[in-house]
Amino acid sequence: MSQKGDIGVIGLAVMGQNLILNMNDHGFKVVAYNRTTSKVDEFLQGAAQGTNIIGAYSLEDLASKLEKPRKVMLMVRAGEVVDQFIDALLPHLEEGDIIIDGGNSNYPDTNRRVEALREKGIRFIGTGVSGGEEGARHGPSVMPGGNEEAWQFVKPILQGIAAKTEQGEPCCDWVGKDGAGHFVKMVHNGIEYGDMQLICEAYQFLKEGVGLSDDELEATFNEWRKTELDSYLIDITADILGYKDTDGTRLVDKILDTAGQKGTGKWTGINALDFGIPLTLITESVFARCVSAFKDQRVAASQLFHKTIGKVEGDKKVWIEAVRKALLASKIISYAQGFMLIREASENFNWNINYGNTALLWREGCIIRSRFLGNIRDAYEANPDLIFLGSDAYFKGILENAMSDWRKVVAKSVEAGIPMPCMASAITFLDGYTSARLPANLLQAQRDYFGAHTYERTDKPRGEFFHTNWTGRGGNTASTTYDV
Ligand code: NBP
């Protein structure tokens, strides 16, 4: 072999194979390896036939076929397998070589790996890759973070294969040090959960409440493609709603109503709780999947409670428009919450994440790609310190314009007995966030009553704490240890 490989990829499942083919299309020479080495031959004789892709049959073989500094990308199952491959690779690598983990790793693992490998002279990148098979093959959204020294070496490859915006900008840029890339990918997945659940709530309300026919539903989603809701998930929903089974009826109606999950939505919710960020919508969307999984319990409870859904009376067209506005407004809240979480992590870990750039990374290539992300990018470019996305003039305008319809839809869903956890949580969040005064005065009084947790007073400066002996039986000592 005359010329050495630009990059090695380990893992020849759906993501690995397609990323390799994408790299090859962009002129990079790729060395492919897989634990089960028969898959290397299958790949070379199958999808990779006629390309410049080279096979490797051991990690030593892989390392020997790579240009230095070596760049090795792992596209294997996240978790222990990544650590196993790192350990197995180390004897074959030299100082300055680069390992890229492109799987869905949990960011604390990436934080740990960057540090551990830095000590060994190996530069580690943890990158989110989104867009599934199609994205991997023709342009994914790529969210790299980790050891910054490595970025210059992998940038041409990762930006080369990434999706591009209409203006030709790659949906791939440096996110930040350590696990920043994987954190942003995790939030991306959480947002995906929220977007999907919001669409499902709109679908159920219109189908079972308003009583739209299959054709009307399909037409509605096709119309929404032409609005600010224009996005990949609305596109595929329109397609799914139109898809007919062999007997001519809609296939979607025959699909069992239990949703699976792989954990990244849950991780997002757990991190929101850890960071103290009210990521209500995404967390509700994870719980909605949990409720859906209780199929047998739900069937039994529906009989026990004689559950029916009330009819939503009124002009169908008026309801469709109200639901569209409620969906759009709720989506703004979801992204606003997601960016609050990213900001909190960025400040906490000193990642220095550029929020406008993050929106750009998701603009194309990934599952949440949408026109809307272009507006988010504009909002953060205009004001990088924007704390709440809904305060940006464009988004504030949409929220205000949607407000009365949004309330009407959520109120009607409660009246009709149609579950709407995400749209309801979105408006509830906004009501709380825009309330200058909340009932937490009473809450803090309760805490002080039973646990002597103290309170601040509206008629005294912030930072002065008071304790009251509410019953006359307690002492005057405040608690420093009892936390509720
Ligand atoms: P999988 O997540 O199914 O992983 C398959 C690869 O992992 C194969 O190369 C397999 O080798 C290897 N592997 C496994 Br499984 N167990 C192993 C072990 N104990 N030791 C060594 N190798 C092992 O592949 P994927 O769906 O292509 O995803 C790759 C990564 O990208 C994952 O982290 C995934 O979460 C992430 N991701 C996937 C998607 C998607 O749409 N699928 C999208 C975005 C990100 P073998 O062939 O020898 O079994």
Q: Render pLDDT for 73-97 as a digit per residue (tens, 0 to 9).
A: 999 999 999 999 999 999 999 999 9
Q: What is the DSSP string of 80-132?
A: HHHHHHHHHHGGG--TT-EEEE-S---HHHHHHHHHHHHHTT-EEEEEEEESH
Domain 186-433 CATH (choose: 3.40.50.300, 3.10.580.10, 1.10.1040.10, 3.40.50.2300): 1.10.1040.10
Which is the CATH superfamily of the domain at 7-178? Answer: NAD(P)-binding Rossmann-like Domain (3.40.50.720)
Expressed in angstroms and rounded, the spacing between residue 56 Cα and the centre of ligand 1 is: 18
Q: Are strands 141-146 and 123-130 parallel, antiparallel or unpaired?
A: antiparallel
Is the pLDDT assigned to residue 2 strictly greater than 70? no
**CB within 8 A of 69, min separation 6: which ones?**
94, 96, 97, 98, 123, 153
Question: What is the structure's pLDDT at 484?
Answer: 63
Ligand 1 atom with the shortest distance to the CA of 262 = 35
Is the pLDDT assigned to residue 445 strictly greater than 80? yes
* CATH class, range 437-484: mainly alpha
Average pLDDT over the chain, rounded to an integer? 96
Expressed in angstroms and rounded, the spacing between residue 181 Cα and the centre of ligand 1 is: 19
Specify the residue for token string 């790659």: 170
Q: Render pLDDT for 12-49 as a digit per residue (tens, 0 to 9).
A: 999 999 999 999 999 999 999 999 999 999 999 999 99
Question: What is the structure's pLDDT at 120?
Answer: 97
Cα 286 to Cα 283: distance, rounded to the nearest angstrom: 5
Task: Please state the rounded mean pLDDT for residues 212-241.
Answer: 97
**CB within 8 A of 110, min separation 6: which ones?**
101, 124, 126, 145, 146, 178, 179, 181, 182
**CB within 8 A of 98, min separation 6: which ones?**
69, 70, 71, 72, 122, 123, 124, 125, 147, 150, 153, 154
Question: What is the structure's pLDDT at 483?
Answer: 60
Ligand 1 atom with the shortest distance to the CA of 103 = 33
For the chain, the domains span: 7-178, 186-433, 437-484
Is 93 within 8 Å of 169 (Cβ atoms)? no
3-class SS of residue 9: strand
Expressed in angstroms and rounded, the spacing between residue 81 Cα and the centre of ligand 1 is: 9
Is 295 in the active site? no
Q: What share of the chain is helix, strand, coil (3-state, %, to 5)?
A: 55, 10, 35
Ligand 1: which residues within 6 Å by Cβ? 11-16, 34-36, 39, 75-78, 81, 84, 103-104, 129-130, 132
Question: What is the structure's pLDDT at 183?
Answer: 98
Residues annotated within the binding site are 11-16, 34-36, 76-78, 104, 130-132, 188-189, 193, 262, 289, 447, 453
Closest of 125, 188, 175, 151 to residue 354, by C-alpha: 175
Q: Catalytic: which of 169, 192, 218, 284?
A: 192
Task: Please state the rounded mean pLDDT for residues 225-247.
Answer: 96
Is the pLDDT assigned to residue 1 strictly greater than 50? no
Residues annotated within the binding site for NADP(+) are 11-16, 34-36, 76-78, 104
348 compared with 478, residue with greater pLDDT: 348
Cα 198 to Cα 49: distance, rounded to the nearest angstrom: 43
Which CA distances in Å does 467 have to 444, 471, 478, 483? 11, 12, 6, 15
Locate 345 and state its tokens: 């992590």
Helices (runs of H) and strands (runs of E) counted in the chain:
19, 8
Cα 130 to Cα 136: distance, rounded to the nearest angstrom: 8
Expressed in angstroms and rounded, the spacing between residue 82 Cα and the centre of ligand 1 is: 10
Please count the other Cβ atoms lying within 10 Å of the Cβ belonging to residue 263. Answer: 14
- Binned at pLDDT 50, 70 and 90, residue 119 comes out as very high
Nearest CA to ligand 1 atom 18: 81
Question: What is the structure's pLDDT at 468?
Answer: 97
Cα 80 to Cα 206: distance, rounded to the nearest angstrom: 44
Q: Render pLDDT for 425-441 as a digit per residue (tens, 0 to 9).
A: 999 999 999 999 999 99
Q: Render pLDDT for 251-294 as a digit per residue (tens, 0 to 9).
A: 999 999 999 888 889 999 999 999 999 999 999 999 999 999 99
Residues annotated within the binding site for substrate are 104, 130-132, 188-189, 193, 262, 289, 447, 453
- Binned at pLDDT 50, 70 and 90, residue 476 comes out as confident
Expressed in angstroms and rounded, the spacing between residue 387 Cα and the centre of ligand 1 is: 37
Q: Render pLDDT for 168-212 as a digit per residue (tens, 0 to 9).
A: 999 999 999 999 999 999 999 999 999 999 999 999 999 999 999
Nearest CA to ligand 1 atom 9: 11
- Binned at pLDDT 50, 70 and 90, residue 482 comes out as low
Which CA distances in Å does 283 have to 272, 421, 422? 9, 10, 9
Expressed in angstroms and rounded, the spacing between residue 63 Cα and the centre of ligand 1 is: 20
Q: Catalytic: which of 39, 71, 185, 325?
A: 185
Cα 428 to Cα 284: distance, rounded to the nearest angstrom: 12
Is 185 in the active site? yes
Ligand 1 atom with the shortest distance to the CA of 130 = 44
Please count the other Cβ atoms lying within 10 Å of the Cβ belonging to residue 90. Answer: 14
What are the CB-based long-range contacts (under 8 Å, 24+) for 381-385? 381/356, 384/354, 384/355, 384/356
For the chain, how far is it from start to end, CA to CA, in angstroms? 67
- Binned at pLDDT 50, 70 and 90, residue 321 comes out as very high
Cα 135 to Cα 161: distance, rounded to the nearest angstrom: 10
72, 75, 105, best to mutate for ligand 1 pocket (most atoms within 8 Å of CB)? 75
